[in-house]
Amino acid sequence: MPTRRGFAGMLVAAGLATPAARAQQQQPKLGGELQFGLDGAAVVTFVLDPHNSGFAPHNRVFRSIFDSLVVLRPDQSVGPWLATSWEISPEQRSYTFRLRTDVTFHDGSKFDAAAVKANLDRIHDPHNALVALPDIGPYAGATVLAPDTVRIDLSESFTPLLRNLSKTTLGIVSPTALQRYGNAIGQNPVGTGPFRFVSLTQGIEIRLARNELYAWTPPTATHAGPAYLDSVVFRNVPEESTRVAALQSRQVHAADGIPPQNIVSLRADPAFRVLQKELLNNNYTLYLNAARAPWTDPDIRKAVQQSLDIVALVKVIYLGTAPRAWAPLSPSLFASDEKALTNVWKPDPKQAAAVLDAKGWTTGPDGIRVKDGKRLTINFPDTQGNREKRLDVMQLARRQLARNGIELSIESQTAGAYNQKLASNDFDLSGASQFAPDPDVLRRLHLPDGRPETSVSKVDDAEISAWLRQATREPDGETRAELYHRVQRKLVEQAYAFPIYVLLYTIGTTDTVQGLTVDTHGFPEFHGAWLSA
């Protein structure tokens, strides 16, 4: 019981669970259909293949259909789920998992060691071209030692594996279904999760129904056994004002991606509740293109940094609903350097102006600095629109920078054009966030040979690369954390990266929704949810 209360308490923002609600939570009601308004602005098509989507909105659905070998606990440690225990070889090159023997997929087939191997082999096969490929790192193969025992071998040590196995992207898919549907599994997902897939209307809605056999909850679950709800319907409502309106008019029971101004008003309304939880991620961060002049010069990068007042930006745009980020990794993520980096630098436009003057960037006739006939312009390509108010942030940043003679040009692009610009190094500033349960996300961003050509970061720093490589091999612990601290400190001190805000994943619900939780990663869980009316 204490675990349950502690866990629920962490999830439901303080003061929101009224005594009445808490009393109702004692006797959950079985049945009902929960309608969820999903912020699918960044999603174009629903591809429910957990191994093949890096989009957070997809992953918010995956968690209900697919289970993982292990679960990430609130304290960032790893707990058992489909795997009951595991052993890691001393040099961390082989992981042996003991599996539950009572688990079946939604199609009736049995979950066992062969199923785990089939999933990992599928991800590893380069012909499948799956997004989850980097999550398994230097995977060399898996061996079925017994129906309930599987050994995963790596060609070199790779510490992030265990935490990565808790990700939705490494959720376990039915091998029978994989064989039947191939890569069309995304339209016919079959997992072992608390809900099974019913139907999909492309881009519009996803219907799930309770898995009656579900008896393999992770230790973080609020109750054992099947879910309470009969069904969950995810309705994609890309427009944020419509999504909030659908919630306020009670056309949906819950909706995510609630904009700041509505968080404030929903909190004030007793008929609604707000659930908030930090998404474990590499915070939304701006990266000056360190591979393109004049941003190759750390002094110029710092001048840009000091011309920005990020505290003010975040306060004005997010109205106190999102904290300002100091470190690249979000505060709760293992090895985040948030504490040490807080207040480590201050905006100093005067100092910045002096540096730019000294470097020969003098103020031109229209107030923008010029050197050798070239304007000090920062081109910022964008493709996601005003997702999480990011463009509003940029508009304010544009004004702050302009005061110091730096021009910020925001260019809205289709995703195709945007990727092209990143791949061909034709940009000055980029911004992105990336959900991740392990600090290894830093390697995928900042290690030149570990990232795709469309990476938002072009950092190529020998020290950072060495630390990142070493951290991948280091066993989990203080040494590993210290390496990532160094990486984050250098990213900020060298003004490679300007972390902006910490995303608190926000769900607004009507007062009839009980027991809805958000897992440690920051994805919604419907297993314990029920409707009181």
Partner 1 sequence: MRRIGGALFVIAGTVTLVFLILHWLPGDPAALVAGDTATAETIANIRAQLGTDRPLWSQYVAYIAGLLHGDLGTSFATREPVLGRLWAQVPTTMVLTLFSSAVALAAGVALGVVAAVHRDKWQDRTIQFVLLFLTSLPSFFLGILLILVFSVTLRWLPAIGNGSWRQLVLPVVCLGLITSGRLMRMVRSGVLDVLEEPFVMTLRGKGLRERQVLFTHVLRNALIPVVTVLGVLVGELLSGTVVVETLFARQGIGRMLVDALNVKDIPVVQGAVLLASIFFVLINMMVDLSYGWIDRRVRS
Closer CB to partner 1, residue 358 or residue 417?
417
CA distance 175 to 122: 9
**Binding of residue 134 to partner 1 (CB under 8 A):** yes
**Binding of residue 245 to partner 1 (CB under 8 A):** yes
Do residues 37 and 237 lie in contact, with contact meaning Cβ atoms separated by under 8 Å?
yes
123 CB-near residues (< 8 Å, 6+ apart): 51, 130, 132, 133, 135, 136, 139, 170
- CA dihedral 175→177→183→185, nearest 10 degrees, is -120
Q: Exactly one of 423, 425, 463, 479 binds partner 1 (CB under 8 A); which one?
A: 423
Distance in Å, CB of 388 to partner 1, minimum: 15
**Binding of residue 333 to partner 1 (CB under 8 A):** no
Could you tell me the sign of the dihedral formed by the alpha carbons of 128, 133, 137, 143, in that order? negative
CA distance 92 to 475: 8
Distance in Å, CB of 335 to partner 1, minimum: 20
**Binding of residue 131 to partner 1 (CB under 8 A):** yes
Task: Retrieve residue 519's tokens.
Answer: 């897992």
CA distance 53 to 484: 26
Closer CB to partner 1, residue 26 or residue 249?
249
**Binding of residue 264 to partner 1 (CB under 8 A):** no
**Binding of residue 293 to partner 1 (CB under 8 A):** no
**Binding of residue 204 to partner 1 (CB under 8 A):** yes
294 upstream amide cis, omega within 30 of 0 = yes
Distance in Å, CB of 140 to partner 1, minimum: 17
- CA dihedral 493→282→477→165, nearest 10 degrees, is -160
- Angle at which helix 478-493 crosses helix 462-473, to 10 degrees, equals 160
Q: Exactly one of 155, 199, 241, 470 binds partner 1 (CB under 8 A); which one?
A: 241
Closer CB to partner 1, residue 181 or residue 345?
181
Task: Retrieve residue 250's tokens.
Answer: 């009670």
Q: Which of 300, 299, 492 is nearest to 377 (CA)?
A: 300
Among 111-119, 201-209, 259-267, 473-481, the segment contacting partner 1 (CB under 8 A): 201-209
CA distance 423 to 323: 31
Among 23-31, 247-255, 345-353, 393-401, the segment contacting partner 1 (CB under 8 A): 247-255
CA distance 374 to 390: 28
Q: Exactly one of 72, 130, 313, 401 binds partner 1 (CB under 8 A); which one?
A: 130
Closer CB to partner 1, residue 42 or residue 402?
42
What are the angstrom distances between the C-alpha of 333 and each of 113, 304, 339, 356, 440? 30, 28, 12, 36, 11
**Binding of residue 346 to partner 1 (CB under 8 A):** no
**Binding of residue 345 to partner 1 (CB under 8 A):** no
Closer CB to partner 1, residue 104 or residue 183?
183
C-beta contacts of 45-49 below 8 A and 24+ residues apart:
45/202, 45/203, 46/186, 46/200, 46/202, 46/203, 46/206, 46/236, 47/186, 47/187, 48/185, 48/186, 48/187, 48/189, 48/197, 48/200, 48/206, 49/130, 49/173, 49/183, 49/185, 49/186, 49/189
**Binding of residue 271 to partner 1 (CB under 8 A):** no
Distance in Å, CB of 250 to partner 1, minimum: 8
Among 112-120, 207-215, 419-427, 462-470, the segment contacting partner 1 (CB under 8 A): 419-427
Distance in Å, CB of 49 to partner 1, minimum: 10
**Binding of residue 183 to partner 1 (CB under 8 A):** yes
Residue ranges in 22-81 that form contacts with partner 1 under rule CB under 8 A:
37, 44-45, 47, 52-55
CA distance 519 to 62: 12
Q: Which of 467, 494, 495, 496 is nearest to 481 (CA)?
A: 467
Q: Exactly one of 87, 91, 102, 239 binds partner 1 (CB under 8 A); which one?
A: 239
**Binding of residue 155 to partner 1 (CB under 8 A):** no
Do residues 225 and 231 lie in contact, with contact meaning Cβ atoms separated by under 8 Å?
no
Question: Per 3-state DSSP, what percentage of the chain is helix, strand, and coil (rounded to 5)?
Answer: 35, 25, 40
Distance in Å, CB of 435 to partner 1, minimum: 10
**Helix, strand, or coil (residue 430):** strand
| Residue where the block lists tokens 């600090």 | 439
Residue ranges in 382-411 that form contacts with partner 1 under rule CB under 8 A:
383
Closer CB to partner 1, residue 63 or residue 243?
243
**Binding of residue 340 to partner 1 (CB under 8 A):** no
Count the site residues for partner 1 by CB under 8 A: 55
**Binding of residue 416 to partner 1 (CB under 8 A):** yes
Among 155-163, 237-245, 349-357, 468-476, the segment contacting partner 1 (CB under 8 A): 237-245
Q: Exactly one of 417, 463, 470, 475 binds partner 1 (CB under 8 A); which one?
A: 417
**Binding of residue 291 to partner 1 (CB under 8 A):** no
CA distance 461 to 491: 10
Alpha helices in 78-221 (DSSP H): 113-124, 161-164, 175-181
Which helix H or strand E contains 374, and what residues bound it? Answer: strand 374-375
Distance in Å, CB of 220 to partner 1, minimum: 26
**Binding of residue 415 to partner 1 (CB under 8 A):** yes
**Binding of residue 149 to partner 1 (CB under 8 A):** no
**Binding of residue 109 to partner 1 (CB under 8 A):** no
**Binding of residue 418 to partner 1 (CB under 8 A):** yes
Among 210-218, 243-251, 386-394, 480-488, the segment contacting partner 1 (CB under 8 A): 243-251
Distance in Å, CB of 454 to partner 1, minimum: 6
CA distance 92 to 493: 33
Q: Give the residues lining the site for partner 1 (CB under 8 A).
A: 37, 44-45, 47, 52-55, 126-131, 133-134, 183-184, 186-187, 201-204, 235-239, 241-243, 245-246, 248-252, 383, 414-421, 423, 432, 434, 444, 452-454
